[in-house]
Amino acid sequence: MAEPPVAQLTGVYAVSALGRGADAQLAGVLAGAPAFGPVRRFDTTTRRVAVAATLPDVGTLADELAAAIDAACAAAGLTDVRRAGCALLLAVHGGPAPGAGPAPAALAGQLALRTGLSGPTRVYTSACVSASTAVADAAALIARGDLDRAVVAAGYLVEPDQFALFDAGRALADDGAVRPFSAGRRGLLLGDGVAAVVLESRAAARRRDGGPVATLVGWGRAGDAFHPCQPDPSGTGLAHAVRAALRRAGLSPQAVGYVNANATGTAQSDAAEAAALRQALDGYAAQVPVSSTKALHGHALEASGLLELVVTALALRHGELPVNAGWRGPDEACPLDVITDRPRRTTATHALTLNAAFGGANTALLVGAP
């Protein structure tokens, strides 16, 4: 029987308000202290909410992305020779760039040049599934034999335009906390996120010393066909994505030992995600430990899927699952095993990380322990 297609996650790096580097992300999510505070990066006096998870002394998006790519490549042991021919899949906000920054395609070209990645480039602007779609595509390109390795990079730094839009849409939590799946949740809060990962075929990874951080054993992408910006309350589209990820891996729902949920702390979105998990994991959904680390590092929009993949992979390897901060009590619309008080030890071998976006876009990435 043929082995299921997999991609090895051989180097990871991330920056968020939890700190700089992969270790800082793991320590931050296990500490369980939300990183939200008053926004000082720009004027918020006319905004309804003035809170986000921002990292002090952050550089430009281009500089932070270049540094993240370099760090992930170094962690994977990629020499200059091995970076040559390596693809770059970038996830950022589309359209005109904020401030004086380059437009997305130009940014991808500049980053490839700065970091010595001379393979093909592709730029994803699919809102909050941009990065997770890029990861799924990178794995698919490796599985199809197009590539031996790819770098996926993603970045969002809290800035005034998106902040104003989320504020105008009354999407931001006016109590200053993100409470995924919880009773009394009042919305999301934005957060900085820049991340990069190196994905390699098993054969390419085997040629070097050192084991992978994790293995991407399955992935799925599917649409709701429901509404421009509301999730399907039945969760059917997200459930299709989860089932696709399990099918690719040849695994049953019982193999899933943790779900890093998309849950943003928004009433209808979290309930739809709970419904999706009940559909996709059959009767097992209520037994799987679940948390959304957006309650700690905030919502990094286009970068959220990559930041959360890094967190999921590190937590699985470490054997301890992060808490779902902001918990006030159960919501009957979200009957899940939410990790509410302290990190939970685990011997799980597989974890899902889920993302969803406007347009009814859904992704599921299934991570295997190294």
Q: Which residues bind another protein (CB under 8 A)?
A: 43, 45-46, 93-96, 103-105, 108-109, 120-127, 129-130, 133, 136-137, 140-141, 143-144, 160-162, 164-166, 168-171, 220-229, 237, 240, 244, 248, 357-361
The tokens 């399907």 sit on which residue? 232
Strand, coil or helix: what is 42?
coil
Rounded CA separation 211/77 (Å): 11
Smallest distance, Å, CB 141 to another protein? 7
**Closest approach of another protein to the CB of residue 84, in Å:** 18
Neighbouring-strand partners of residue 368: 215, 350
Nearest to 273 by CA among 197, 185, 347, 342: 185
The two three-digit tokens of residue 308, written as one number: 């959360």
- How far is it, in rounded angstroms, from Cα 370 to Cα 235? 30
Which residue's CB is nearer to another protein, number 284 or number 358?
358
Considering beta carbons, is residue 41 or 122 the nearer one to another protein?
Answer: 122
Q: What burial letters (b/e) apply to 239-263, b meaning 16+ CB within 10 Å?
A: bbbbbbbbebbebebebbbbbbbbb
Q: Provide, rounded to whole angstroms, the least separation between the CB of residue 168 and another protein.
A: 5
Shortest CB 166 distance to another protein, Å: 7
Distance CA 246, CA 237 (A): 15
Q: State the minimum distance, in angstroms, from the CB of residue 310 to another protein.
A: 22
Q: Least separation, in Å, of the C-beta of 303 and another protein?
A: 14
Question: Phi and psi of 342, rounded to 5°?
Answer: -145, 160
Q: Nearer Cβ to another protein, position 27 or 97?
A: 97
